[in-house]
Structure 1
Amino acid sequence: MKTRILGLLAATAISTAAISAASAADLPMRSAPPAPIIAAAPIFTWTGFYVGVNAGYGWSEDDNDAIDLADDDNDGGFIGGAQVGYNYQIGSFVVGLEGDIQYADFGREGVFNFTDENGNILEGELESSDWFGTVRARAGVAFGQALIYATGGFAFADDATGWTVGGGLEYAFTNNLSAKIEGLYVSLDADNDDGFDFDNDVDFGVVRAGLNFRFGTY
């Protein structure tokens, strides 16, 4: 009798444990909610094409010293134009190529007088080119959205060709919009006029501000 009672109690305990385990399996699991996924902040890059406009001031150094009657007072004035280029960033270094075309309202303007071999006075007018352009390489160091760079390359105007060198600072306010301040020194060499024996070379400086729309984004 006693053995039967012990067996019954053991069977009851086993059944109760099984029912409790089954009930626990049906209950929802209590676990910590998944951590929210936070996207990494985008990294700014200067890589990409851009187009823009610029305006500033230019001043010339007239090399036509043999013309004593030329008016050299008008040697500075407004410049303005447009540029297009491409940047490629490697780490903190940025390299690129830029071309621009400029209207230039400065330079030599005046009247000169010469005499020929018979003593007759020859009159004429000296006028500087009212435009110039450059094709330049750019190389610099980026500090986030700020870029400090040097630039140099080929320059041209009318029948004159030469070189240019300079540098600047550019800052990107948004993904696509950046502003720059730039200085250039330009040296052009045109064909000399052997008949009047003067030098058509001209050197001038440019300081300008520009605004670029950049097609490259984050």
Structure 2
Amino acid sequence: MKKLLLGAVAGIACAAPAFAADLPARTYPKAPAYTAPEAVYNWTGFYVGGHVGGAFAGNNSLGGDKVRFLGGLQGGFDYQFASNWVIGAEVQFSGLTGNGGKGSTLPAGTLVTSNQLGSITGRLGYAWGPALLYAKGGYAVRDNLNIGAGSSGIPVVVATNGSHRSGFTLGGGLEYMFARNWSAKAEYQYYNFGNTTFAGGPATIVGVRFRDDEHTVKVGFNYRFGWGG
């Protein structure tokens, strides 16, 4: 019996290497290649910011075509939906330096002063990553429009068909989120307050009508709180 057991053990020991050689090589699953996580940009939330730029009126405008410096503040709320679309509302105020310019086309000469512009607008944009391309439009308001005229250097009294304080505005721009809570923007905005007609004053200007508008170009920054985002 002992001889049989020893013989069996010896046979198994001899066959084990050959059996192991016939087994397939053991395989190990490869770890997936590392990919850096993509940054997630969410435009939903409140923001406040400031802007600077320039304003100029058209050739047929009371303000003439001189460029004036402007600066101001803005604030609003955006909501991102359907992955890439952004809708929001914004309130903006701008102060302008100097006078509106001298209207060279008026026979009596004019001096126009309107040094504040404001707007309440809706915004609709399309976002891809950190960039947002948007359009805006809504209600526009300005301070009282002061119009003075002179003849041969002597001031004369003029009257118009209204103060033209309210109007509409349209515009658009590009905003870029360069840090977690910060974005920069470049924007064009047009303000239209209708037409002004001279109802009284020198006979050479009574009945003359001019467009009341402003073109503005602005750059600015926004701080985004992300509340609700």
Aligned to 1:147: 132
Q: 1:211 & 1:43 partners in 2: Cα distance?
A: 20
Q: 2:38 & 2:172 partners in 1: Cα distance?
A: 31
Aligned to 1:46: 43
Aligned to 1:86: 77
Aligned to 1:101: 93
Q: TM-score, normalised by structure 2?
A: 0.63
Residues 41-94 of structure 1 show CA distances to partners (whole Å, capped at 9, x for unaligned) of 7732100000000001111125468xxxxx94x621211100011000001000
Shift of 1:164: 1.2
Q: Where does 1:177-188 land on structure 2 (aligned, <5 Å)?
A: 177-188=182-193
| CA distance 1:48–1:107, shift in 2 (3 Å) | same
Q: Are the equivalent residues in 2 in contact too, given 1:64–1:198 (CA < 8 A)?
A: no
Residues 167-214 of structure 1 show CA distances to partners (whole Å, capped at 9, x for unaligned) of 100011112111000011211136644113333641221111010011
Q: 1:82 & 1:142 partners in 2: Cα distance?
A: 23
Aligned to 1:176: 181
Aligned to 2:171: 166
Aligned to 1:215: 225
Q: Are the equivalent residues in 2 in contact too, given 1:61–1:75 (CA < 8 A)?
A: no
Q: Are the equivalent residues in 2 in contact too, given 1:152–1:163 (CA < 8 A)?
A: yes
Q: Where does 1:1-218 land on structure 2 (aligned, <5 Å)?
A: 43-61=40-58, 63=60, 72=64, 75-90=66-81, 91-105=83-97, 107-109=100-102, 126-158=111-143, 159=163, 160-189=165-194, 192-195=197-200, 196-199=206-209, 201-216=211-226
Shift of 1:109: 3.6
- Flag structure 1 segments of 5+ consecutive residues without an equivalent: 1-39, 66-70, 115-123
Moved more, 41-50 or 205-214: 41-50
Residue identity opposite 2:181 in structure 1? N
3-state SS of the aligned residue for 2:57? strand
Higher CA-based Rg: 1
Shift of 1:161: 1.3
CA RMSD between the two structures: 2.7
3-state SS of the aligned residue for 2:199? coil
| CA distance 1:212–1:64, shift in 2 (3 Å) | closer
Aligned to 1:17: none
Q: TM-score, normalised by structure 1?
A: 0.66
Q: 1:53 & 1:64 partners in 2: Cα distance?
A: 28
Q: Are the equivalent residues in 1 in contact too, given 2:72–2:94 (CA < 8 A)?
A: yes
Aligned to 1:29: none
Percentage of identical aligned residues: 36
Q: Are the equivalent residues in 2 in contact too, given 1:109–1:128 (CA < 8 A)?
A: no
Q: 2:210 & 2:142 partners in 1: Cα distance?
A: 12
Residue identity opposite 1:59 in structure 2? F
- Flag structure 2 segments of 5+ consecutive residues without an equivalent: 1-36, 144-162, 201-205
